[in-house]
Amino acid sequence: MKKALVLGATGGIGYALVQALLEKNIAVIAFGRGEEKLERYFGNKVKMVVGDVLQEADVMRAAEGVDVIFHAVNFPYQHWMEKHPICLQHVIHAAKSKKTKVVLIDNIYAYGKQTRKVSEQETKEPHTKKGKIRLDLESKLKASGVPSLIVHLPDFYGPYAYNTILHETLKNVAINKKANFVGPLNVAREFVFTPDAAKIIVQLSQHDDAYDQNWNIPAIHSITGAELVKILREETDYRKKIRPISKTMIRFIGFFQPYMKEVVEMMYLTEEPVILNGEKLQKQMGEIPFTSYRNGLIETIEWIKQEESVLSK
């Protein structure tokens, strides 16, 4: 791979993918809707294309001359049904037209409820609306005939990962305000650090035999909210109470905020987490040097402090 297109380059995973590709000396086209944000994130390190993934001509223009399209676009939950299928169709058309491969960054929703570590071979039987949407997208990409690599990530955190379940907690810790934690504090869940995930995805994308397959990218290990809070208190001067937010509380907030209403059906993941089996990935890549939660949290908190300082000027 000599040249790659990252759709959704200003999202948490998209930003990390751009950095991981640059580390491999791969030319990058960073695609996003806002020119100012693209320039602030990447400066003159990459070619930037301002456009809308819901406009096929924009995606076609950006995909000219690339070897791989990294699809890291996400939409607010309330727009998934309407926008995700259109976006994927434009990616498929561009890939066919330009004869490129596609890497789809996916989550774990299509796996549905699981009682054991989930391998890539597990039958997907999603019970939620959003899980069914994700499975439909995956099926359409596989049926398209485009060489594709589909990666499943758990919840993630890291620089520029704003729209994540953990970001608001970390942001409020960083600025020393009262913080909430979505879900119970005593349940072990997975949170993958975005730079780790991006490096693995880029490495997989450089191997032809990794395509037309699904790949789980787990976190270094699962961790409870209480353990995360303990690390945060040890590494910062934060001493305020962190309040766990329950499904009932999310449902109440949803009466006033459409986005939070859509969060309710995914709250099962905070109580009965899906934990990814990474054996297939380890066989392909060997031992993977994951960042510890402690170091990942420190880096993310420092980034939030710097970002808050920049945005306040």
pLDDT for res 308: 81
Question: pLDDT-derived band of residue 252, with 50, 70 and 90 as boundaries?
Answer: confident
The answer to whether residue 260 is domain-embedded is no
Please state, for a pLDDT cut of 70, what percent of the chain lies above it: 97
The answer to whether residue 184 is domain-embedded is no
pLDDT for res 259: 66
Question: pLDDT-derived band of residue 313, with 50, 70 and 90 as boundaries?
Answer: low
pTM here is 0.95
The answer to whether residue 177 is domain-embedded is no
pLDDT for res 311: 65
Q: Is residue 53 predicted with pLDDT exceeding 70? A: yes
Query: Residue 310's CB: how many other CB atoms inside 10 A?
Result: 9
Which residue matches tokens 């191997």? 207
Across 226-241, b (16+ Cβ under 10 Å) vs e yields: eebbebbeeeeebeee
Query: What is the side-by-side strand order in the sheet with 27-32?
Result: 47-50, 27-32, 3-7, 68-71, 101-106, 148-152, 213-216
The answer to whether residue 300 is domain-embedded is no
Question: pLDDT-derived band of residue 309, with 50, 70 and 90 as boundaries?
Answer: confident
CATH of the domain at 122: 3.40.50.720
Q: Is residue 68 predicted with pLDDT exceeding 80? A: yes
Q: What is the pLDDT of residues 159-199, one digit of tens each?
A: 999 989 999 999 999 999 999 999 999 999 999 999 999 99
Domain range for 54? 3-161+190-222+274-292
The answer to whether residue 245 is domain-embedded is no
Tally the domains of the chain. Answer: 1
pLDDT for res 227: 98
The answer to whether residue 269 is domain-embedded is no
pLDDT for res 250: 81
The answer to whether residue 248 is domain-embedded is no
Among residues 73, 139, 69, 62, which one has the least CA distance to residue 99? Answer: 69
What is the average pLDDT score of the chain?
94
The answer to whether residue 8 is domain-embedded is yes
pLDDT for res 167: 94
pLDDT for res 133: 97
DSSP code at position 299: H
Contact by Cβ (8 Å): 8, 31: yes
Q: How far apart are CA 236 and CA 294, in angstroms?
A: 11
Which residue matches tokens 């580390």? 23
Q: What is the pLDDT of residues 111-130, one digit of tens each?
A: 999 989 999 999 999 999 99
